[in-house]
Amino acid sequence: MKNRTLVSAMCLFLAFLAVFVEAATAQNSKLATVNSNFISSTRSGTMSVAQVNQLIRKKFGNSVSPTAQALDLYKVNYRSQDERNRPVVLSGLVVLPRGGAPNGLVIFNHGTIVNSAFAPSRFTGKSNDSEAQMATLAFASGGYAVAMPDYLGLGDNKGAHPYPLGAINSRSAVDIIEPARALAKRQNTEVGSRLFVSGYSEGGAVAMWTVRDLEQKSGAIYDVSAAAPASGPYDLSDTTRKWLLASPTDQQEFVIRLYLTSYMAYYFHKSSGVKLTDYFKPAMAFTISQAFKGNISDENIIKRLALAGILLREKNSLENAITTRYKTALETLDTSEPAIREMQKSDCYDWSPRTKMLLISLKGDKVVDPANTEKTMQTMRRRGVSNDTLRQYVIKDTSLNHLTAVAPALAQARRFFDGGFANID
C-alpha cells in the first residue's frame, strides 16, 4: 500500500513538473519575443528577375553578374537607442531573395541624405538611383539578404540625424541584424549564417564603427565574416576637419563643404539647442535653418546654399560663411566646442580589427578626402594589422566622382564578399 501511494505521489510530482516546465518555456518564449528588437514589417515591393537584371546591366554593366532570383522588399521597424541611450523605434529596409540567401546577410549603411524620401525603407523596387537600390542590386542579386538602417532622424524617426557621427549611427546597424533574421524566419526564407558589413561615404564610417561594435559583442549572430567600408570619413577630427578648412578650387567644392558643415551644425542646433549663429554668420544661419527644416531634396538644399553664398559674396570661402569663433575652434581642435568634441569621439581609424576588411576609396575624391583611408591604413598597419586581415582597393578611374563611384565601389565589395582578397581585381 505504501509503495502504491509512493508511486502515485511520484507520478503526480512528475506531472506537475512537466506542466511547470512547459509554462516556464512558454514564458521564456514570450520574454524572448518582448526583448527582441523586431517590432513589425510590411512588404513594400517586389523586383522581378527581369527587372533586377535590366537594372544590373544599366548600373553595373558586367561587373555584377545577373541573378535568377526575384527579390522581396520589406520595410521593418525595430527597437534601438538614441545618442542619450533612450529607447527609440527606427525603420529600415530588408531585402530577401526568393528561394533563400545561402551566402548570408549584408548590413549596408547609406551615405549622406537629408530628405527621408531617399531613406532605404522608402525604396519599393522602382528605379530611383538611390544607394538602397544600388546595394540591393549589388548584394541581393548574389544570394545575400540585405538589411539597411535608415539611421536616427531619418525614415520614420523624427529626431535629429546625428551627422556625421558614426559612433552613434552604428547602433542602428547593429540593432537591425536580429530583426532582419527574425523577418527571414517568419517568411520561411533561409539565410546563411555569415554576416557582412559595408557602407559608402557617411555610411563607410558607420560601417567601420559597426564592425568595431560587433567585435565587442558575444553571440554567433554578431560574428562578422568580412567588411568593406567605402570612401568613409574615418578621421573626422583631423583629416576631415583640415579638409573643411582648406581652400576649395571652385564653387562646387565650396558648396559641398558648406553643405556638410551646415548639416553637422544643424544637428547640434536641433539636438542640443546650440544657436546656428554660433556657427554661421546671421544671413547664412537663416538660410540653413530654412533649408534643412523643410521637406526638400538634398539637391535643392545645395542649390539654396550655393545661391546664398553668391548673394552674400562669400567668394567660395567657408571662412567667409562661418563665425570667427567657430573658425578658431576648427583651427585649434577646441573640444570645448560640441561639434569638435563629437567629431573626435567618432574617429574610427586608430584600432585593430580582427575582421577581414577591404577599404575602398576613390582617387581624387572631392567630397570625402581619400587621405581618410590612407591614414586608416597606415595607423592600422602600425598597430600590427597584417595584409591577411586588411587591404585597400583604390578606384583609379579619373572620370568618376564621389556619386558615380558608388557602383564600382559596391561591385568590389561584392567580389570581396564572394571570394575574399583573392577575388579582388
pLDDT in tens, 303-325: 999 898 888 877 888 888 999 99
Q: Is the pLDDT of residue 23 over 90?
A: no
Quick check: 29 pLDDT over 60?
Answer: no
- Position 300 pLDDT exceeds 80: yes
Residue 4 has pLDDT above 90, yes or no: no
The mean pLDDT value for 393-408 works out to 96
Span 282-289, average pLDDT: 93
Tell me the DSSP string of 308-361. HHHHTT-TT-GGGTB-HHHHHHHHHT-TTSHHHHHHHHT---SS---SEEEEEE
Closest CA to 173 of 107, 75, 88: 107
For residue 264, pLDDT over 50 is answered with: yes
Closest by CA position to 168, among listed 396, 345, 395: 345
- HSE-up (13 A, CA, CB side) for residue 314: 29
For residue 71, what pLDDT is reported? 98
Q: Which residues contact 236 (CB under 8 A, 6 or more apart)?
A: 164, 205, 343, 344, 346, 347
Gap between the Cα atoms of 213 and 85, Å rounded: 15
Predicted confidence at residue 14, as pLDDT, reads 42
Task: State residue 17's pLDDT score.
Answer: 40
- The β-bridge relationship of strands 71-81 and 38-47 is antiparallel
Q: What class has domain 40-235+353-423?
A: alpha beta
Mean local confidence (pLDDT), 106-119: 95
Residue 228 pLDDT: 98
Q: What is the pLDDT of residue 2?
A: 43
Lowest mean pLDDT among 1-15, 95-109, 296-310: 1-15
Question: Would the pLDDT of 74 be above 70?
Answer: yes
What ranges make up the beta strands (E) of 98-212? 104-109, 144-149, 195-200
Split at pLDDT 50, 70, 90, the class of 5 is very low
Whether 121 and 146 have beta carbons less than 8 Å apart is answered as no
- Of 1-15, 27-41, 209-223, 301-315, which gets the smallest average pLDDT? 1-15
Residue 24 has pLDDT above 80, yes or no: no
Q: For residue 335, name the pLDDT band (cuts at 50, 70, 90).
A: very high
Q: Return the minimum-mean-pLDDT range out of 165-169, 255-259, 317-321, 410-414.
A: 317-321
For 173-200, write each residue's pLDDT tens digit. Answer: 999 999 999 999 999 999 999 999 999 9
pLDDT at 129 over 80: yes
pLDDT at residue 27 greater than cutoff 70: no
Give the pLDDT of residue 34. 37
Instruction: Considering only residues 98 and 250, tell me which one the structure prediction assigns the higher pLDDT.
Output: 98
CA dist 13 and 48 (Å) reads 58
Give residue 240's pLDDT. 95
Helix or strand run (H / E) with residue 89:
strand 87-97
Give residue 213's pLDDT. Answer: 98
| pLDDT (mean) for 286-298 | 86
- Mean residue pLDDT of the chain comes to 90
Question: Is residue 253 pLDDT above 60, yes or no?
Answer: yes
Average of pLDDT values for 134-144? 98
